[in-house]
Amino acid sequence: METQNIEISPDVFYKSLFEKMRLIAPVIRTMEYYEFRYCLNSIAPENEDWQTVTLLTKDTIEEQVRNPEFFKRVEIKSKVDGKIILDPILISTTRMLFKGLVTGVYEPEWVNHLFYFDPRGFNFLVRSTYFTEEIRAHLGGKPFRQFDQKQKAFEWKFEIGYQEFKDANSEVDACFIDCVVKLVSFKGAPIILAIAGPTAAGKTEIVDRIREFFEAQGKKIATIELDNYLTDRDQREERGIGSFGKAALHFGLFQSDIKAILSGKNIATPRYDFIDGTSSHDLAGVLKPNRKPVEIEPADIIFIEGNSPFLLPEIAPLIGIKVVYLTDDPVRLKRKWRRDIDFRKKYDPNYFRNRFFSEQPPMAVKNYQPQLLVCDLFVDTTGAAVWTTPEIAELFK
């Protein structure tokens, strides 16, 4: 560890930080200096004494953010006087990076390589790693189709609305829909199409658009939302099992429902309430009083939408088309601020920030990298690219 003494006034420190942060996050360039200072009120050390902030070496930080235990130490419901607060790890990480930028210990390029900045929460988060060389090889080494990266404009936004997100992704989405149509034609119906992707990646919206296309062709469509099989949030958090994998789900119901709908039977799935984080069913799989399941009829094309549909070995062989639909974390975070905090009032803001910080990088490694290694199609909306396996690319020639 190294401590950099700063023999300068807070105002000089903040003016230097303001210039550094304009390099880190383009959206900061839309702010006046006094607005920037307002945002620092909740993150600055006591008495604005930045000499109390200790800097870790870059090697130590790189080792730290690659260690899953680092993220497990974040308490997403840290409380003081009954109110949820921002976890100290988020605060200390941001303070350290601020001071390191001002003192020159951390270069802006290095900070941007490992972290990204949330202009609404005004704190740094660790970048997730989704794509590896092994995954690139599985997908043929290069994109099947590449388009202009219109999401770059989102770097200048504090939050992102649905319409601008849809417009930015219009070309890549059109290509993806065309690929799905061709694969369904090759493979035949009925078929299960599973779309995996993290929250706010745009899965629900793209499923709706594919649904509209096939319905216009006279096909019958059904959608099974994997998230509806989540058990109560509090129960999952108490058991430390996160939000994916069999332990987080009413898995027995999920398995039996998939088999039933493939055999032409109606199903009644659980219904998950994202506002209060509860399932319509108890842990034994019994419908709770005064709750309603989701009624679904069999169809030609059955969508499974969720975080991890083909990580489940009992389900994966039943899936005809496996898709990972991904948007990078900084963009999804801005979408979630607008959708889940501003509009849906879904989370306490500090709970939301703690949870996003602690869950996304580990989820990328444990959940999405394995699915990218076995998927048929990968849609990278931030990179504006559609990837396919070589076998599928050959089919499309």
List, for residues 184-220, the tens digit of each pLDDT value.
999 988 899 999 999 999 988 998 999 999 999 999 9
Average pLDDT, integer, range 290-306: 92
Same-domain check for residues 355 and 371: yes
Higher pLDDT pick, 242 / 301 = 301
pLDDT higher than threshold 70 for residue 6? no
Average pLDDT, integer, range 16-40: 96
Average pLDDT, integer, range 293-307: 91
Last residue of a domain, one of 70, 94, 126: 126
Same-domain check for residues 305 and 205: yes
277 in a structural domain: no
240 in a structural domain: no
Same-domain check for residues 208 and 151: yes
The span from the CA of 196 to the CA of 304, in Å, is: 8
Are residues 281 and 312 in contact, defined by beta-carbon separation less than 8 angstroms?
Answer: no
Query: Angle at CA 309, nearest 5°, toward 369 and 336?
Result: 75
Report pLDDT for 133: 96
Average pLDDT, integer, range 8-19: 90
Report pLDDT for 247: 87
165 in a structural domain: yes
Same-domain check for residues 363 and 323: yes
Question: Could you read off the pLDDT of 216-257 as tens digits, one per residue?
Answer: 999 999 989 888 999 999 889 888 776 667 888 999 999 999
Report pLDDT for 241: 76
The span from the CA of 373 to the CA of 182, in Å, is: 22
Report pLDDT for 243: 64
Residues comprising the chain, all counted: 397
Average pLDDT, integer, range 379-397: 96
Same-domain check for residues 71 and 100: yes
Same-domain check for residues 311 and 381: yes
208 in a structural domain: yes
CATH code (residue 178): 3.40.50
Average pLDDT, integer, range 130-149: 97
Same-domain check for residues 119 and 19: yes
| Domain extent for 28 | 10-126
Q: Does the model's pTM come out above 0.75?
A: yes
Average pLDDT, integer, range 304-311: 84
Report pLDDT for 1: 52
Task: Catalogue the long-range contacts made by 228-232 (C-beta closer than 8 Å, 24 or more residues apart).
Answer: 228/269, 228/270, 228/271, 228/272, 228/294, 229/253, 229/254, 229/269, 229/270, 229/272, 229/279, 230/272, 230/279, 231/279, 231/283, 232/277, 232/278, 232/279
Same-domain check for residues 303 and 386: yes
- Residue 323's nearest CA partner among 263, 375, 380, 285 is 375
pLDDT higher than threshold 70 for residue 2? no
28 in a structural domain: yes
Strand duo 83-84 + 79-80: pairing = antiparallel
The span from the CA of 165 to the CA of 381, in Å, is: 10
Report pLDDT for 274: 86
Strand duo 321-326 + 377-380: pairing = parallel
Report pLDDT for 244: 65
3-state secondary structure of 87: coil
Sequence-ordered alpha helix ranges (H) in the chain: 10-24, 33-40, 58-65, 68-72, 88-103, 108-114, 133-138, 162-168, 170-187, 203-216, 233-239, 251-262, 329-336, 349-363, 369-372, 390-395
The span from the CA of 380 to the CA of 383, in Å, is: 5
Same-domain check for residues 103 and 139: no
pLDDT higher than threshold 70 for residue 177? yes
168 in a structural domain: yes
pLDDT higher than threshold 80 for residue 357? yes
The span from the CA of 154 to the CA of 161, in Å, is: 10
Same-domain check for residues 107 and 141: no
Report pLDDT for 11: 87
Average pLDDT of every residue of the chain: 93
Report pLDDT for 242: 66
Poorest-confidence range of 63-77, 239-253, 363-377? 239-253
Same-domain check for residues 195 and 315: yes
Kind plus residue range of the DSSP H or E element containing 374: none
Same-domain check for residues 49 and 152: no
Question: Could you read off the pLDDT of 72-118 as tens digits, one per residue?
Answer: 999 999 899 999 999 999 999 999 999 999 999 999 999 999 999 99
187 in a structural domain: yes
Last residue of a domain, one of 105, 126, 147: 126
Last residue of a domain, one of 73, 101, 126: 126
Report pLDDT for 346: 87
- Residue 287's nearest CA partner among 218, 228, 216 is 228
Q: How many domains does the chain have?
A: 2
309 in a structural domain: yes
Strand duo 385-388 + 83-84: pairing = unpaired
